[in-house]
Chains A and B, each alone.
Chain A
Amino acid sequence: MAREDEATIRAGAEDVGVYVHVPFCHRICPYCDFAVVAGLPGGREDRTVSVLVREIEGRAQPFRPASLATIYLGGGTPSLLRPESLGRILGAIGKAFPGTPSEVTLEVNPSTTERERLPAFREVGVTRLSIGVQSFADATLKRLGRAHTAVECHATLEAARRAGFDNLSLDLIFGAQGQDLPAVLADVEAALAHSPEHVSAYALTVEPGTPLAFGVETGRLVLPSDDLAADMMLAVADRLEAAGLQRYEVSNYARPGNEAQHNARYWQRRAVLGVGIGAHSYRPPTAANPHGARPANERDLARWSTRIESGVMTSPEPGWLSAAEARAEAAFLALRRRQGISAAAFSAEWRATPRDIWPREIENLVAAGLLDESSAGDLALTQRGWLLADSVFEHFVSPDAD
């Protein structure tokens, strides 16, 4: 399947996904390095939504005439917005692009207020929820600095089903302080009890500059070893697959047909308009811009608002890609997916097979048991390759000049 759909995509017939970044968080998680603003939106809500609407209107032009494929409302905590605010945003997107989106995802935290709004969110057009469960163990939630409890997780999942959502995703984190393998598997079991259509299982990542990183550097926090984290990843994958959730990306599992369509756009390098602070867009190649671009927004709420309100719609960082950069991204983003790199689709875009470009690298990675190569030259990560994906990807980029 991969071959045809990627070939079609590269051939043109573009559609667009829209990512809306809602920056507010009731509290900021100690491991988070996203563009977020602490506190409830409160008095800032209406102005922020107006700016988002204005940005959608102002920045849609370069993506036209694409039809609307997906919408993703992320953050931050977009479910902190009132349903009518979400309605305004979705309305603006609907006006900016023709067509009906096949997926409208909203990220939700398991809190009481948000839970009560779920039916209303469905009313305004949300079709899929991504619930930030992280764990079903209160001790782990506390260590992760999350505000919610296990009871609220269960309640939110149940409320979502009651509200009629038939496409639920939940996020799990493994590798937190104090977690062992049984604890991680217990979280997986608790998740499976809700029969989710989709699970994202993320290894806790220490991002530089976060409180988590500080804790680890100063030795106040001791996370499970990499070896244990590897065991966790393998065990999580085994269990989810056994339950019929197929691993279709490094951290993502779904029942066939329930793969996240919006997120798949990132790995397939399909057009995405990102609005809100710190949001990134992806503009596929055009004649003027032969290797595509990843424009990035301001990360500061005040600066971003001022910029959009004064009508400046260009991004402060245009993010033009060079051929080598785009090619490297094509390789490592494709390899994150189960399908991997289709040699035919790759050749269609780059006029050379991956083997032509990285002969020695591919040879070594295949020999090292990290990559599988089909007779057609298609490449995919092996079981061990999933665990060492970054060590594999490194071979496809050019070293940084500085």
Chain B
Amino acid sequence: MDSSRIRNFCIIAHIDHGKSTLADRMLDATGSLGDREKKAQFLDKMDLEQERGITIKAQTARMLWRAADGEEYLLNLIDTPGHVDFSYEVSRALQACEGAILVVDATQGIEAQTLANAYLAIDADLELIPVANKIDLASADVDRVAQEIEDVIGLDATSVLPVSAKSGAGVEEILERIVQVVPPPRGDREAPLRALIFDAWFDSYVGVAALVRVVDGRVKRGDQVTLMQQGTEHEVHEIHVVDPHPRKVQSLEAGEVGVLICGIKTLADLRIGDTVTSTKHGAPEALEGFREVKPMVFSGLYPVEAEDYQPLKAALEKLRLNDASFQYEPESSVALGFGFRCGFLGFLHCEIIQERLEREYDLSLVTTAPTVRYRVVPKSGETFEIETPAALPDPNDIERVEEPMILATIHVPQEYVGSVMALCQDRRGTQRDMTVHGSRVQIRYELPLAEVVADFHDRIKSVTRGYGSYDYDVVGYQAANLVKLDILVNQEPVDALSLIVHRDKAQNRGTELARKLKEFIPRQMFEVAIQAAIGAKVIARTTVRALRKNVTAKCYGGDITRKRKLLEKQKAGKKRMKRVGSVEIPQEAFLAALKLGDDG
């Protein structure tokens, strides 16, 4: 198709503002879906995504639309992930578009991700089509939201389209608007091939499938291509377009979006944001904006039952096939046995992986407190990075420790500003600025990433009764007074509970952890001292007093078999406990202590 009749666009929105439903209505309106498929949100592939109502991996669909001008247009909808952990992937998907539909819930207004994504789209020079969704709801206030869009984002309030993705009202108007305002792809069909990989996934039949936007030139089946960042060469085995079912085609031209199958075996061999070019007479320069995606959040995953180690390993291998952004390596803990140190893009990503392991692979897991990548400047030698508290050297050998910082943008109704600021202060935040837009306020805080990984999003939601929203950017490293907090039982460190915390918070944290452990460690035949310590200095302690009485009063004829079975059971229970030194600690104690980490 002539590139003047192609439109590449995406939909950006805050979570739950109706992005996926709108995408489905578009497929509907253009006759791209059969009836059977209409019931579900077609673009969300995984069960989990449907449950959480977010899209984890970007998908795409092409639709044919006969516009009011009588011409038929090819509309490429590029779906983008909806969460802050995946902002790099979002930025790559935006690079593949010329336009973006900005969906705002007409009952809610602009939220943090609305704005973050809108800025990303503006940075990518996309034409924005503002839409006020959910007009079928009684509480919708299109005028207010339109004004907010004008005030905050600077788009003309009169250009805001009222839509109900639920009923389909206004969807055709959006399709028309796309044809009118989104520019056709620029790009030179005669130039050497440059195609942007903006998503990839693993397919068990064909291997890695790379979703690309051809920027310049053309790619056809059988071509030899080079991945410019990766520096590897491949033959193009198959090319598909998705409308919305995959369909084989011979070639893709500048402006088009499609899937390349190049015989790549694992996702780790390909990078999102890489440029595909021809091996012969290739482009001299790759497309801009490529970035190495590095995990930001780390956590140990351990099977509750030791025999689940191999199944866990197999499950991690499988998950990684489809998600190269998470990493894992074997790790062992005295307290928890054998497990894996895993790296994630963010905490939500960590939660998703954990849930998939538990749900799809039926594993029960213990997760250690999430940590971030610290930078250690030793007194002598070179600066290095650590991803686990155990790797932090003795305080005497350290010049300083630096931690990753973020700039958080928080949107809240005015009445919650106080509680949000209190939360940010508590998390060692420094306020950057505050802007008022009508009844809503945007607050920006610089915060340590470590303070937000576990539960910040939930806390924001809870202190604002669900009205607040938050987004972040990583902004570099900053030195901080950080210490390693160890928990010891009868002088033995419980490695799985070690934490890196700010010195000011160590006391509280240590006391809380010791208290929690005390609650869950059963009385034993000797006294158990639980201590929290920084290096050799004990900052909190408590004791589980020795068990004084454990005896069955009666043991006659009928009691004997029962008693023996009870003793056997009791012993089996002890066997399942973890031993630290001679102290037996039930699994629940770890779970409770680690849960405490989540609660902050």
Residues of A within 8 A of B (CB): 19, 34-35, 202-205, 226-227, 229-230, 233, 250-251, 263, 266-267, 272, 274, 278-282, 294, 296, 319, 325, 328-329, 332-333, 336, 368, 370, 386-391, 393-402
B558 within 8 A of A: yes
B526 within 8 A of A: yes
Is A389 a contact partner of B551 (Cβ separation < 8 A)? yes
Bound complex: CA A54 to CA B575 (Å): 46
Is B548 a contact partner of A226 (Cβ separation < 8 A)? yes
Which of A35, A329, A390 contacts B551 (CB under 8 A)?
A: A390
Bound complex: CA A242 to CA B554 (Å): 23
Is A282 a contact partner of B557 (Cβ separation < 8 A)? yes
Is B551 a contact partner of A250 (Cβ separation < 8 A)? yes
- Give me the 5 closest cross-chain CB pairs, A-B, nearest first: A400-B568, A230-B549, A399-B572, A230-B548, A202-B553
Q: Which residues of B contact A333 (CB under 8 A)?
A: 555, 560
Bound complex: CA A263 to CA B565 (Å): 20
Looking at the assembled complex, report how far the CB atom of B20 sits from the nearest CB atom of chain A, in whole angstroms.
45
Q: Which residues of A contact B564 (CB under 8 A)?
A: 325, 328-329, 332, 397
Is A400 a contact partner of B572 (Cβ separation < 8 A)? yes
B479 within 8 A of A: no
Residues of B within 8 A of A (CB): 525-526, 547-558, 560-561, 563-565, 567-572, 574-575
Residue ID in chain A nearest B526 by CB atoms: A368
Is B571 a contact partner of A19 (Cβ separation < 8 A)? no
Bound complex: CA A332 to CA B561 (Å): 12
Is B571 a contact partner of A205 (Cβ separation < 8 A)? no
Bound complex: CA A263 to CA B555 (Å): 9
Which of A204, A226, A329, A370 contacts B560 (CB under 8 A)?
A: A329
Bound complex: CA A294 to CA B575 (Å): 27
Q: A34-B558, A390-B550 are in contact. List 13 more A-B contacts (CB 8 A).
A: A35-B558, A202-B553, A204-B553, A205-B553, A266-B557, A332-B563, A387-B551, A388-B525, A388-B547, A394-B570, A396-B567, A398-B571, A399-B574
Known contacts A388-B525, A394-B574, A399-B572, A251 near B553 by CB under 8 Å: yes
Q: Which residues of B contact A274 (CB under 8 A)?
A: 557-558
Bound complex: CA A386 to CA B550 (Å): 9
Looking at the assembled complex, report how far the CB atom of A340 sits from the nearest CB atom of chain B, in whole angstroms.
15
**13 pairs of residues in contact across A and B, judged by CB atoms under 8 Å:** A202-B554, A203-B551, A230-B548, A266-B556, A294-B560, A294-B561, A329-B564, A332-B567, A387-B548, A387-B549, A388-B549, A391-B525, A399-B571
Q: Which residues of B contact A229 (CB under 8 A)?
A: 549
Bound complex: CA A395 to CA B568 (Å): 9
Is B565 a contact partner of A400 (Cβ separation < 8 A)? yes
Is B556 a contact partner of A390 (Cβ separation < 8 A)? no
Known contacts A233-B549, A368-B525, A390-B551, A397 near B571 by CB under 8 Å: yes
Looking at the assembled complex, report how far the CB atom of A281 sits from the nearest CB atom of chain B, in whole angstroms.
8
Is A227 a contact partner of B548 (Cβ separation < 8 A)? yes
Is B554 a contact partner of A394 (Cβ separation < 8 A)? no
Residue ID in chain B nearest A34 by CB atoms: B558
Which of B551, B554, B560, B567 contacts A388 (CB under 8 A)?
A: B551
Bound complex: CA A160 to CA B14 (Å): 86
Which of B547, B552, B561, B567 contacts A205 (CB under 8 A)?
A: B552
Bound complex: CA A54 to CA B460 (Å): 76
Bound complex: CA A395 to CA B552 (Å): 15
Looking at the assembled complex, report how far the CB atom of B235 sits from the nearest CB atom of chain A, in whole angstroms.
55
Is A19 a contact partner of B557 (Cβ separation < 8 A)? yes
B556, B557, B574: residue with the most chain A Cβ atoms closer than 10 Å? B557
Known contacts A266-B560, A332-B567, A399-B572, A250 near B555 by CB under 8 Å: yes
Is B571 a contact partner of A272 (Cβ separation < 8 A)? no
Residue ID in chain B nearest A395 by CB atoms: B571
Is A279 a contact partner of B551 (Cβ separation < 8 A)? no
